[in-house]
Amino acid sequence: MFKGSLFFVFLFSVQSIFAHHFSISIFSLKTVHSATVNISRGSYNLFIDSANVATFKQGETLKFAIEGSKIRVHYKGTSKLLSHFKLTGEEYLNNFKIGVGGELRTYEDNLICRAEGKSILLLNDVELEHYIAGVVESEAGLKAAPEYFKLQAILCRTYALKNFDRHALEGFNLCDNVHCQAYYSKSSKIPDILKATTATNGLIITDDRFDLINATFHSNCGGQTCNSEDVWLTPLPYLRSVKDTFCVKSRNARWEKIMTKNQWQNYLMSLDVPKELDTAVNGEEVFFSPDGRQISFYFPGKSVKTTKIRTDLKLKSAYFKVEMAHDSVFIQGRGYGHGVGLCQEGAMQMAKEGYAYNQIIGYYFAGVFIVNLNALEFFKEE
Ligand SMILES: [Zn+2]
Ligand SMILES: [Zn+2]
């Protein structure tokens, strides 16, 4: 009986996430004072509370702007002062263009607008798979093999479902910037992205207990990914360091930052590194040349985490060595990003070489399963 109720609760929660639209805060990095919406496909109804007050066909426009603590909406030669309203797509496929402060984007499904203090909160109430396609286009860029778009869709879907309550206190699911996942428009430029989303519809990644994984990724690992605890303290069995030979010739594989000896010494002083180190600095010797990734940078009598040095000096990654030459300090690094989970440039290369999406996911995430959300309850019951 007890097990049965737990099972029911699980099934209900997963099904409800899967079936429902996601509510995404769009233009979330801007303070929105006004916007223009143009219906670019299908038709839309304007709802105020539960009343349908107007219908908009393709090509029709409405404009709105904050006025006091409410929103003044102009449409069809009339205007209304409202605290919130919703535009609901009424046909099989619906999308609209929305312009805010000179930036124009296109989104699918519905738009919710709410006055919040002296600005407007814009929410795209969107079907999960439409959202995933838009995220893949924003996150993965446009140049990749079709197999790569499939695994990126699976990663983004897993992330969205695992973090669906990240902005619950603000009244929506996820934001559209990199704090959650980049979502700058509907997918429209690359047909392969829509095909990849459809081909992997509902697929997500779980750990060996069939819980959604933390599907993290980064641009380039530099040849070796990190254990989760080396960057974020929490050890996770599927986020283990792996050697990656696929990304080492890619765009973000190597970088260099040059500092003057003075700048470097001032930085070391700010870390309270003991003075004996001056000898090494003046002696032009290589004093940090890791063979593989290091968690800490060891000075005589003191160690500093490489992730701290990365943040302090705004380095592309925490995988680097330092060399002296005359009055300059050369920080030579590998990779771009935190290094945990899937390496995007490595995965792109694997896809190009003919590996399948499940092989690529298995390469970067240890001991995980790719399952369909609809089938998850059967595994979960075991
Ligand atoms: Zn967010
Ligand atoms: Zn890599």
Where would I find the H helices in 191-336? 191-199, 228-232, 261-270, 277-282, 306-313
CA of 343 to the centre of ligand 2 (A): 5
Distance set, CA 232 to CA 100, 238, 294, 305, 367 (Å): 36, 14, 15, 12, 20
CA of 183 to the centre of ligand 1 (A): 11
What burial class does residue 93 get, using C-beta atoms within 10 Å of its C-beta: 0-12 exposed, 13-18 middle, 19+ buried?
exposed
pLDDT of residue 290: 59
Give me the domains of the chain, ranges plus CATH numbers: 20-126 (2.60.200.30), 254-334 (no CATH)
- Find the ligand nearest to 163 CA: 1
pLDDT of residue 233: 85
- Find the ligand nearest to 26 CA: 1
- Between CA 303 and CA 309 the distance in angstroms is 11
CA of 353 to the centre of ligand 2 (A): 15
- Between CA 204 and CA 211 the distance in angstroms is 10
- Find the ligand nearest to 347 CA: 2
Q: Report which residue type is found at 315.
A: L
CA of 80 to the centre of ligand 1 (A): 31
CA of 182 to the centre of ligand 2 (A): 21
Ion ligand 1: residues, Cβ under 5 Å: 175, 179-180
CA of 163 to the centre of ligand 1 (A): 9
pTM: 0.85
The number of C-alpha atoms within 13 Å of 46 and in the hemisphere containing its C-beta is 23
Q: Return contacts of 158-163, CB within 8 angstroms, 24+ apart.
A: 158/204, 158/205, 158/212, 158/213, 158/215, 159/215, 160/22, 160/128, 160/131, 160/132, 160/135, 161/17, 161/18, 161/204, 161/212, 161/373, 162/212, 162/213, 162/214, 162/215
CA of 219 to the centre of ligand 1 (A): 19
CA of 3 to the centre of ligand 1 (A): 34
Q: Are 61 and 54 in contact (CB under 8 A)?
A: no
CA of 143 to the centre of ligand 1 (A): 26
pLDDT of residue 126: 97
CA of 243 to the centre of ligand 1 (A): 31
Distance set, CA 223 to CA 246, 249, 257 (Å): 8, 10, 19
CA of 345 to the centre of ligand 2 (A): 6
> Which residue in the block uniquely carries the two structure tokens 């496909």?
41
Per-residue model confidence as pLDDT tens digits over 219-247: 999 999 999 999 998 999 999 999 999 99
Kindly give the parts of the chain with pLDDT less than 70: 1-20, 274-291, 377-382
- Find the ligand nearest to 177 CA: 1
The tokens for 275 are: 């003075």
CA of 363 to the centre of ligand 2 (A): 11
Per-residue model confidence as pLDDT tens digits over 37-85: 999 999 999 999 999 999 999 999 999 999 999 999 999 999 999 999 9
pLDDT of residue 156: 95
